[in-house]
């Protein structure tokens, strides 16, 4: 990764600008989790990767054996590279923050065994998307397509399997629709752009719904890491990561923590390096990432999020 020297980087304010926009101009709404939230519709952030790796500095995401940084990398590996569907598979990779969503109560409600996130969850969507001719591996396909036809503008991956996500009643038959996923995918719509002449790669990630103080902080770094992984195995330079959120929200109970984060001074982004020997996308693990020059302003804390 060709970062500019740390001393020459510019502090990035895009994440805090989003939080401030929600606080000042957001609309108060009820949420599925029976918690009031303030939200805005439609927001884009563009990160020049030469200016550092987009790991927020408003609070510490790196400390501890089970740091948010490491668990997010483990989550990305589990879903994107291994096609994980269960809590056991996630936890085997070192990601434990999904536990509240895979309880027996939540799973039984959707006709699933305890710990099963469902056939409509991220892992199955990415690695075994259901089709008439059998499971379709979107990740293998997109990797092969980028290698063979890098100029195409159809390098796209989606986590959305409609038949497993819908709710309500079928008005034609009167039957209740059965959701087959514990959490409808919030992130994971990915569009990759390669420039074969310049050997550069850009990734545009679309997020349907984002809990900005908690989930979005993880999603920004997770998909920036995925940008770097794709670039390395393809032999391209990752130059830009673009993050678009449709429903960006802050829960009312999070507002005091958000104000604390906004009271900090903007900092420069750190550096994240990949082990250059890894050339197989599916071989990446959190151990292949090294974080340097990270100076968060607030200590590690658990910001409230509804379950």
Catalytic residues: 186
> How does strand 156-157 pair with strand 189-195?
antiparallel
Q: Which residues pair with 37 in a beta bridge?
A: 29, 251
27: Cβ contacts below 8 Å, ≥ 6 apart = 38, 39, 40
DSSP assignment, residue 288? G
Angle made by CA atoms 246, 248, 254, in degrees to the nearest 5: 165
| Torsion on CA atoms 287, 269, 122, 179, rounded to nearest 10 | 140
CA 2 to each of CA 5, 12, 13, 20, 261: distance values in angstroms, whole numbers, following the listed order: 9, 18, 21, 31, 29
Q: Residue 180 in 3-state DSSP?
A: coil
Q: Residue 91 in 3-state DSSP?
A: helix
Residue whose entry in the numeric block shows the structure tokens 């293998």 = 140
Task: Give the dihedral sign, CA 98/273/235/200.
Answer: positive
Separation CA 216–CA 243 (nearest Å): 10
219: Cβ contacts below 8 Å, ≥ 6 apart = 186, 187, 205, 207, 210, 243
| Torsion on CA atoms 275, 94, 129, 244, rounded to nearest 10 | -70
Q: Residue 107 in 3-state DSSP?
A: helix
């Amino acid at each position: 990764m060709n970062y500019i020297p740390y001393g020459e980087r510019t502090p990035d304010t895009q994440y805090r600008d989003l939080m401030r926009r929600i606080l000042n101009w957001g609309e108060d709404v009820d949420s599925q989790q029976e918690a009031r939230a303030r939200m805005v519709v439609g927001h884009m952030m563009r990160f020049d990767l030469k200016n550092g790796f987009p790991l927020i500095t408003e609070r510490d995401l790196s400390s501890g054996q089970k740091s948010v940084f490491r668990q997010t990398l483990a989550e990305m590996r589990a879903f994107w590279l291994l096609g994980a569907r269960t809590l056991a598979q996630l936890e085997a990779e070192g990601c434990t923050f999904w536990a509240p969503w895979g309880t027996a109560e939540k799973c039984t409600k959707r006709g699933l065994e305890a710990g099963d996130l469902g056939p409509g969850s991220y892992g199955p969507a990415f690695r075994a998307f259901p089709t008439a001719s059998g499971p379709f591996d979107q990740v293998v396909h997109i990797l092969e397509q980028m290698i063979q036809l890098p100029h195409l503008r159809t390098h796209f991956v989606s986590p959305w399997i409609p038949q497993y996500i819908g709710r309500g009643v079928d008005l034609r038959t009167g039957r209740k629709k059965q959701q087959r996923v514990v959490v409808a995918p919030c992130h994971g719509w990915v569009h990759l752009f390669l420039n074969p002449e310049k050997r550069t790669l850009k990734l545009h990630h679309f997020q349907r719904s984002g809990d900005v103080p908690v989930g979005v902080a993880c999603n920004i770094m997770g998909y920036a890491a995925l940008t770097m992984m794709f670039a390395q195995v393809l032999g391209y330079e990752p130059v830009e990561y673009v993050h678009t959120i449709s429903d960006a929200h802050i829960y009312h109970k999070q507002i005091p923590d958000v104000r604390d984060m906004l009271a900090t001074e903007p900092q420069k982004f750190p550096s994240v390096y990949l082990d250059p020997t890894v050339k197989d996308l599916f071989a990446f693990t959190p151990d292949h990432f090294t974080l340097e020059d990270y100076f968060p302003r607030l200590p590690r804390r658990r910001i409230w999020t509804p379950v």
